[in-house]
Amino acid sequence: MRKFTSDIDEKDFGKEIVLYGWVHEVRDLGGLVFVILRDREGFAQITLPKKAVDREMFRRARKVRRESVIRVKGVVKAEEKAPNGFEIIPSEFEILNEADAPLPLEVTEKVPAELDTRLDNRFMDLRKPRIQAIFRIRHVMLQSIREFFDRHGFIEVNTPKIVSTATEGGTELFPITYFEREAFLNQSPQLYKQTLMAAGFERVLEIGPIFRAEEHNTIRHLNEAVSIDIEVSFTDHEGVMSYLEELVRYIHEKVNERCGRYLEWIGAKVEIPDTPFTRLSYDEAVEIAKRKGEEINWGDDLSTSALKFIAEEMDGYYFIVDWPTESKPFYAMPHENDPEISKTFDLMNGWLEIASGAQRIHIHDLLVKRISEQGLNPDSFGFYLEAFRYGMPPHAGWGMGLDRLVMAALNLPNIREAVLFPRDRQRLVP
C-alpha cells in the first residue's frame, strides 16, 4: 500500500508499505546503510542491514546518488532515533531515475546558496522542505480566500489579461503584438470589475495575474504578480475595508489551524491580528515622517524611507486612509465636503503595502472630468465609460497582492521567496 511519509504512524508498525520519493542522504556504515527518503510530506529512514537484506539491493542502496528518485517497499518498524520514530526495512529498493552528479544546488541546505543561485536552479530549490512549506501555506491562503468570499455571497470571475488600453494610464505597460494591432498585458482588472457592477453582479472576486512594467529592483516588487481583487455594489470604502481586515484575520486563523507542520519547517509563527485595524490618516502619516526628518510635501506619495519611519510607530496591520485625490487613480471618489481628499486607503504591514482600495466614482460626468484632469483621453476608455451611462450603482473595492501577503505573514526577506518562478527586470527564466 502506497503512503506518504506523514501518513505513517504506530498502527503501521509491522505492516508492509510502499514509499516513493527522492534520496535525501545516504549514510554508509559498512555493514549498515541508511537511506533517508524524502517525499513532499517529510522524511523516512530506510535501514538496510547487510546481513538481513538482499545483497544486490544492499549494493544498489549504498551506491545510489543523492536526489535520485526511488521506490521502496518494506516493513515499518519502530525506531526512536529515526525521523518520525520509525524506519523501513526494505524488501524492494528500486531506482526509478538516477540523478547526475554533482548536484547544481545542495538540497540538504548544509551549504547555503545565494537567492539568485537558488532561483537559477529553482526546481532543485523547491525540493527543500522549508521552501515547499511556503507554497503549501500559500495554497491554504488561497483556499481560505475563496472560502471567505463564498461565505459572503461573492461570485468569482475571470477578466481579460490582454487589453487595448491602460487601466490607470501611464506608461507602465507591457505592449504585445495582437494580430494587426498593439495590445497590452493588463495592469489590473479594475475597469472590468467595475463594469460588472453595472451588470448587476454586486459582489465579485478575482484571483489572477497582473503585469506592471515598472523598472524596480527591490525586495518587494515584481513585474508579474498575483492580485486578489474584489468589487462590491451599494457600499463605500469603509464597507470594503471591513471585508479586507476580516479576510486577513481569517487567513491567519486558517494558516494557524491547518499549517502547523509547515510553519515548523519554516520556523515561522503567524500571529492572528486583532480587528478592526488602526486607521491612520494620510495627514497623520506625513506628520510622523516629517517629525522623524523625512522631507515630504502634502500630496506626495510616501517613500520607502517615510513608510519605514511610520512603521516604527505602528504595530502589525494598519490602514493609511484619506489620501489626496490627485495622488490616487482617476476612479477614486473624492469626499463630498473636501474634494481634495479621496475615499481611499492602503493596507500596510509595517512598511509594506499589502492592498489598496477606494470607493469608486459612479457618476459618469465626474468620472470623465477626473480622467481629463489626469491628462488622459476619455475616448480611450469608451467601453468602460459606457457602463456608467445606464445605471451604475455606488460601489467600492480593492486589490491585494497575494505574494506580498505571503511575504508579510511568513516574514520572508524577499518577495521572490513567495513566488514559484518570479518575474522581475532581470529574470525571465526559469
How confident is the model over 103-151, as pLDDT tens digits?
Answer: 999 999 888 899 999 999 999 999 999 999 999 999 999 999 999 999 9
d(CA 286, CA 302) in angstroms, rounded, equals: 8
The predicted pLDDT at position 111 comes to 86
Q: What's the CA angle centered on 221, arms 290 and 397, to 5 degrees? A: 80
Residue with cell 487595448: 164
pLDDT of residue 129: 96
Neighbours of 252 (CB within 10 A): 19
What's the whole-number mean pLDDT along residues 363-380? 94
Answer for the pair 64, 70: CB distance below 8 angstroms, yes or no. Answer: yes
What is the residue-averaged pLDDT of the chain?
95
Given pLDDT bands bounded at 50, 70 and 90, which one contains residue 320? Answer: very high
Tell me what the mean pLDDT of segment 231-257 comes to: 98
> What does the alpha-carbon distance between residue 165 and residue 183 come to, in Å, rounded to a whole number?
7
The full set of domain ranges for the chain reads 5-97, 124-418
Check whether 337 has a pLDDT greater than 70. yes
CA pair distance 273, 249, nearest whole angstrom = 6
pLDDT bin (cut points 50, 70, 90) of residue 167 is low
Q: What residues are labeled active site?
A: 212, 214, 220-221, 353, 356, 404
C-beta atoms surrounding 384 within 10 Å: 20
CA 300, 214, 166: angle at the middle one, nearest 5?
85
Mean pLDDT of 192-221: 96
CA 344, CA 342: separation in Å to the nearest integer?
Answer: 5
- Residue 83 preceded by cis peptide, ω within 30: no
How far CA 33 is from CA of 36, 96, 244, 355, 430, in Å, comes to 10, 19, 54, 52, 36
Pick one of 3.40.800.20, 3.20.20.80, 3.40.640.10, 3.30.930.10 as the CATH number of 124-418: 3.30.930.10
Identical fold for domains 5-97 and 124-418, yes or no, is no
Cell of 92: 524492494
* pTM for the model: 0.94
- Residue 316 confidence (pLDDT): 94
- Segment 235-258 shows an average pLDDT of 98
Beta strands in 239-343 (DSSP E): 278-281, 317-321, 334-335, 338-342
Residue 120 buriedness (CB in 10 A; 0-12 / 13-18 / 19+) = middle
The angle formed by the CA atoms of residues 130, 131 and 134, to the nearest 5 degrees, is 95
CA distance readout (Å), 21 to 53, 127, 207, 327, 408: 20, 11, 32, 53, 32
pLDDT of residue 172: 84
Distance set, CA 197 to CA 137, 308, 355, 378, 390 (Å): 32, 37, 20, 20, 12
CATH of region 5-97, choose from 3.40.30.10, 2.40.50.140, 3.40.1360.10, 3.40.50.1360: 2.40.50.140
